[in-house]
Chains A and B, each alone.
Chain A
Amino acid sequence: MKLRKNVAVSEAGLLFNPVTGESYSINPIGVEILNLIRDEKNPAQISRVILDKYSTDQATFEKDYHDFISILEHHNLLESHEETKA
């Protein structure tokens, strides 16, 4: 899974998609996850990083993570599934 090329994320949590012209606001944990995705970490690795740092359980995080990813997909911010499977 990859963020689309050209999608810029600022430290303050602003994301701009130059293809659509949309801007987004992301909370700090969301920025952290996007950076982990950008570093090509897989979901298991991402989950470990978050669970080490924050007080939550795996089931909750995994559900929220998938929800977050589905919203990224909904906004067309990820490379398509075919591309990511490769």
Chain B
Amino acid sequence: MSKLRYERPVIMKLETGMPNKFGTRTEYQPMTHIDGVAVNSLIKEYGSPLFVISEQTIRNTIKKARRAFENRYPKVQFAWSYKTNYLNAVCSIFHQEGSWAEVVSGFEYDKAISLGVDGRKIIFNGPDKSEEDLTKAINNDSLIHIDHLDELYSITELTEKLNKRPRVAIRVNMDTGVYPMWDRFGFNYENGQAWDALNKIMQSGKMELVGLHSHIGTFMLSPFAYGIAAAKLAELALAVEAKFNHEIKYIDMGGGFASKNTLKGAFLPGSDTNPSFDDFAEAISSALINSNFKKDKLPLLILETGRALVDEAGYLLGSVISNKRSSTGRRNTILDIGVNILFTAFWYDHKITPAQSFTQYTEDTCLYGPLCMNIDVVRESTNLPLLNKGEHVVIHNVGAYNMTQWMQFITLRPNVVLIDPDEKPHLIRSKESLENMNGMEKVPSHLAKFNK
């Protein structure tokens, strides 16, 4: 006779505010499969913890985003934000879906080139572009978004050396009613820096000013702020046209759209409240269409959305290492997932679901990672069903930033698997090994010997 599923015995005081059975019953559904592939079999084959990316979700999301903008604005181009997730497989999906590349370092630039991205479809952002980086970008005719005057002067010098006319834009920062204001990047709109930089570029005649760029913040919850930013960029573009009779080809609104994650301290879940692509598209498109651009002279609209396009497609699978109790009687559960691979646990309350069935009984649980570090907390407090040692959990919405900001710390980084639209898993990044790590190190000969 087969035995019943074991669940640890629990007793909970009835408190007035305690969630009842009904609440927990509907709040949690076990997530046994991702895109048709069993979580258990994924962990058996690829180990735990394990990042899983759904190709279908990425494709659906970028299509949804494109539709939201293309239904409202005639010329739209997405550029994949490499820093959000630069696994080659992930970038390739976006490039197949027609996205350009948006990079912020020489490393990311080379990654895009090595993937076969046409240099003319690479947008080079960020404050740190070396002379070598700029030379590459100029020779490939990439779009260089100038962040500061020193960069503007470097490019001016290079144009003479290389005898090229690079295509450039400037990054503009501005007050959009959202604070803190991101005024450390680019040239300020309100105090005239931006207008001054544009004049310098136009007057020098050595570069082709093709666009204007802004990136107003991160995890933005207000679509209106984008409307304000778009209107200000439109005004700048029209001023350039009026003064120099020069047409600005594109307006790049950057990224920063919030995903469906829930920020710590938020009262309502992000999946309910965070704006949709339609909300952002409406604000940006109407600001541009309502500006004074002539109907047939509307600039190309570029979007560098990262987080909102990939967060939902990423899952992190893990296992319960131990259940214990704190000195105050609180339930603590230790997972094999640490903040070194789940960086976003610092600012989100990630949704976490068990990967197997469970009863309606729950305990208020603090979820810890496996690191010997006090800050290694995955969720400070979550009402979780009773998990046994060795059972699995699925952490949702981890596709953005975790696979770029993760660090090799105490333990090695895990496998990353992509599930294709035919529900077939592919290993797209192997877990690290001791050999990988040691391979980069050298021990000076005088340190080689010690008493063993």
Interface residues of A (CB under 8 A from B): 15, 22-30, 32-33, 50, 52-56, 60-61, 64-65, 67-68, 70-72, 74-75, 77
Query: In chain A, what residue has the closest Cβ to B325?
Result: A67
Question: Is there an interface contact between B4 and A65, defined as CB atoms closer than 8 Å?
Answer: no
Chain B residues, CB < 8 A from A53 = 3-4
Taking a contact as CB atoms under 8 Å apart, the answer to whether B14 and A26 are in contact is no
A32 to B9, CA, bound (A): 9
Question: Whose C-beta in chain B lies nearest to the C-beta of A17?
Answer: B13
A72 and B11 contacting across the interface, CB-CB below 8 Å: yes
Q: How many whole Å from A24's CB to the nearest CB in chain B?
A: 5
CB-based contact B8/A64 at 8 Å: yes
Q: What residues on A are CB-neighbors of B388 within 8 Å?
A: 56, 60
Partner of A74, one of B10, B329, B359: B329
B1-35 contacts to A (CB < 8 Å): 2-14
Determine if B13 and A55 form an interchain contact, defined as CB atoms under 8 angstroms apart.
Answer: no
How near does chain B come to A16, taking the closest CB pair, in angstroms? 9
Determine whether B431 belongs to the interface, using a CB cutoff of 8 Å to chain A.
no
Among A24, A27, A30, A61, the most chain B Cβ lie within 10 Å of the Cβ of: A27
Q: Can you list 18 contacts pairing A with B, beta carbon distance less than 8 Å? A: A24-B11, A24-B13, A25-B11, A25-B361, A27-B9, A27-B10, A27-B361, A29-B9, A32-B9, A52-B3, A53-B3, A54-B4, A54-B5, A55-B2, A64-B323, A71-B10, A74-B329, A75-B13
Q: Is the CB of A71 within 8 A of B4?
A: no
Indicate if the CB atoms of A54 and B8 lie closer than 8 Å.
Answer: no
For the complex formed, measure the closest distance between the CB of A48 and the CB atoms of chain B, giving whole angstroms: 13
> Is A68 a contact partner of B10 (Cβ separation < 8 A)?
yes
Let me know if B389 is at the binding interface, CB within 8 A.
yes
Tell me how far the C-beta of B34 lies from the nearest C-beta in chain A, rounded to whole angstroms. 25
Report Cα–Cα, A77/B11, bound state, in Å.
Answer: 11
- State whether A26 touches B10 (Cβ < 8 A): yes
Instruction: Give A75 to B14 CA distance when docked, in angstroms.
Output: 12
Contact B5 A25 (CB under 8 A): no
Contact A67 B8 (CB under 8 A): yes
Give A26 to B12 CA distance when docked, in angstroms: 6
For the complex, give the distance between the alpha carbons of A82 and B11 in Å: 23
Query: How distant is A45 from chain B, measured CB to nearest CB, in Å?
Result: 16
A67-B325, A71-B329, A74-B329 known; A29 vs B11 contact (CB < 8 Å):
no
Considering the chains assembled together, what is the distance between the CA atoms of A30 and B389 in angstroms?
18
Give chain A nearest CB distance to B312 CB in angstroms: 33
Contact, CB under 8 Å: B8 / A55: no
Shortest CB-to-CB span from A58 to chain B, Å, is 12
> Which B360-415 residues have a C-beta within 8 angstroms of A?
361, 386, 388-389
